[in-house]
Amino acid sequence: MIAALGEGESEIRGFLDAADPLSTMTCLQGLGVKVEKVQGVIRVHGKGLHSLQAPTSDLNAGNSGTTMRLLSGILAGQPFRTGLTGDDSLRQRPMKRIIEPLSRMGARISSTSEHTAPLVIEGCHPLHSIRYRMEKPSAQVKSAVLLAGLFGDGTTEVSEKTQTRDHTERMLGLSVVRTNDGFTASVTGGKRISPQAYQVPGDISSASFLIAAAILVPGSEIRLNAVGLNPTRTRILDLFRSLGASITVISERVIAGELIGDLLVKSSPLHGDVNLNAQDVAELIDEIPIIATTLALSSVSLTIRGGGDLRNKESDRIRAVVENLRGLGLDVEEYPDGFAFQSKKRLIPAECNSYNDHRIAMAFGVAGLALEGDTLIRSAECVDISFPSFWSLLERLQHH
């Protein structure tokens, strides 16, 4: 998206050939952006902030909440109207959180009565720059407002109590100021975006499934190359290490403003009790399913509160984790905003339901590796959303 708004041709290396990034690419092409794929490198021909064209039909974000929310920020500042839709799961996810700030900036956005997609965005240029204080932590909402701020008539500020992932700020080179009550990022309307060579770091949320597999399966040792170690994303490493996991970072380097390194992970017994609150959940939002299965299989007790937003993901992740863990023979207590379980020595393999959610499928796939006997994952193909090679990779690791 940022390359599409840049003034010239950008190259993206390390592009993930999965459903979500492809949804973004298709939406941008629908807005008249020329995108080429040459030998695994993506070339995006940006023509500046004001070069997007009105699409001839509705844009489809597929299963990708990131695509829908971030693109809405850009579309809010366009002088045309756009219809934006997605698959069944995405059309149930809450969009009021972006509709509210983008409407304050001057865009007119219509949605269903439940504030869900399909959306119709009547853009306006220039938008009114605003100061926006985030009620709930969400990197997607923050990025939507900052991207809209590129089309503002002044400086737009977004402040948050807990710093959520900051990839957008880094790529746009925005100033982020630490204040008494959190962090404030600001962007000035009309900011020119230079074309760049982007290197996409290995995604730590995807890597966390392989890290967990190495921790859990006795005698394992794996090296994961070029993983993104952005400080807003590495909380999962701190958590596993604090319980005794052997995770070493080798050859750290910075590429396109992002810290990258190789991870060496060895199987290790975990010990302790984990209590996660709302701020912790915000920092670990995508890793909660794999944390739950890893700790359940390591006899570590876990309590999560303040995680109500987990019910609004690709599936209701609280319900999905609770039901599947109970199937493995664990006593789990469910709360409106989380769940809890006490450690238990032995779990049993079972049939697990992915609820068509890629992270649930992968988390219980890893659990199946560590359990003796056969574990069945229903609708396992949903991993194609973010990690198409996951099952074959897991199998390869098993046979080493």
**Which sequence positions are flagged as catalytic?**
286
Distance CA(119)–CA(105), nearest Å, equals 17
- Percent helix, strand, coil in the chain, to 5, is 35, 25, 40
On whether the CB atoms of residues 94 and 100 are closer than 8 A, the answer is no
- Locate tokens 């997609």: which residue? 117
Of 268, 332, 265, nearest in space to 296 by CA? 332
Distance CA(72)–CA(238), nearest Å, equals 34
| Phi and psi angles of residue 39, each rounded to the nearest 5 degrees, phi first | 45, 50
| Phi and psi angles of residue 297, each rounded to the nearest 5 degrees, phi first | -85, -5
- In three-state secondary structure terms, 19 is helix
Of 44, 12, 330, 334, nearest in space to 198 by CA? 12
With left for phi above 0 and alpha for psi between -120 and 50, is residue 124 left, alpha or beta?
beta
- Mark out the alpha helices in the chain (DSSP H runs): 19-30, 65-76, 96-104, 139-149, 167-172, 204-216, 235-242, 278-283, 288-297, 317-327, 358-370, 390-398
| Residue 7 β-bridge partners | 47
With left for phi above 0 and alpha for psi between -120 and 50, is residue 122 left, alpha or beta?
beta
Distance CA(258)–CA(254), nearest Å, equals 5
Strand order in 197-199's β-sheet?
34-38, 41-47, 7-13, 197-199
CB atoms within 10 A of CB 342: 14
| Phi and psi angles of residue 203, each rounded to the nearest 5 degrees, phi first | -80, 125
Q: Could you give the C-alpha distances from 350 to 186, 328, 389, in angstroms and in order?
A: 49, 6, 23
